[in-house]
Amino acid sequence: AQRVTQPEKLLSVFKGAPVELKCNYSYSGSPELFWYVQYSRQRLQLLLRHISRESIKGFTADLNKGETSFHLKKPFAQEEDSAMYYCALTGVGSNYKLTFGKGTLLTVNP
């Protein structure tokens, strides 16, 4: 079975502060991890994937297989980062079914 856990339902930070959205996963095979974002009144969209090792909008995420974590980080939060963030997992063994966490609502205060 594959499972994604996002322990924080809500996260509030001030503009310019660092932000970390936590994600832990459970998967017996070789996982591929992603972060999706949903801005207010917009569709859910892919933010970044671990395999690309990219930084998108200043966000990065490192896959830690030892801790089975894939936390999303940004050193200086901006107001426009306020959104719902979902961590997601897939893999060969699941025929690439994408499983999402329950999401974390990030609010960046001015």
Partner 1 sequence: GAGVSQSPSNKVTEKGKDVELRCDPISGHTALYWYRQRLGQGLEFLIYFQGNSAPDKSGLPSDRFSAERTGESVSTLTIQRTQQEDSAVYLCASSSEVGVSTGELFFGEGSRLTVL
Please give the residue ranges that form the binding site for partner 1 (CB under 8 A).
6, 32, 34, 36, 43-46, 49, 51, 86, 88, 90, 95-103
Q: Shortest distance, CB of residue 60 to partner 1, whole angstroms? A: 17
Judged by beta carbon, residue 81 or residue 91, the one nearer partner 1 is: 91
The residues with which 33 forms a beta bridge, in sequence order, are 89
Residue whose structure tokens are 């830690």:
64
Question: Which among 35, 33, 24, 25 is positioned nearest to 81, based on CA atoms?
Answer: 35
Cα–Cα distance measured from residue 62 to residue 39, given in angstroms and rounded to the nearest whole number: 23
Q: Shortest distance, CB of residue 81 to partner 1, whole angstroms? A: 19
Q: Shortest distance, CB of residue 89 to partner 1, whole angstroms? A: 9
Judged by beta carbon, residue 45 or residue 64, the one nearer partner 1 is: 45
Strands (E) in 1-110, as ranges, are 3-5, 10-14, 19-21, 24-26, 31-38, 45-49, 60-61, 72-74, 83-91, 99-100, 104-109
Q: Shortest distance, CB of residue 103 to partner 1, whole angstroms? A: 5
Judged by beta carbon, residue 55 or residue 78, the one nearer partner 1 is: 55
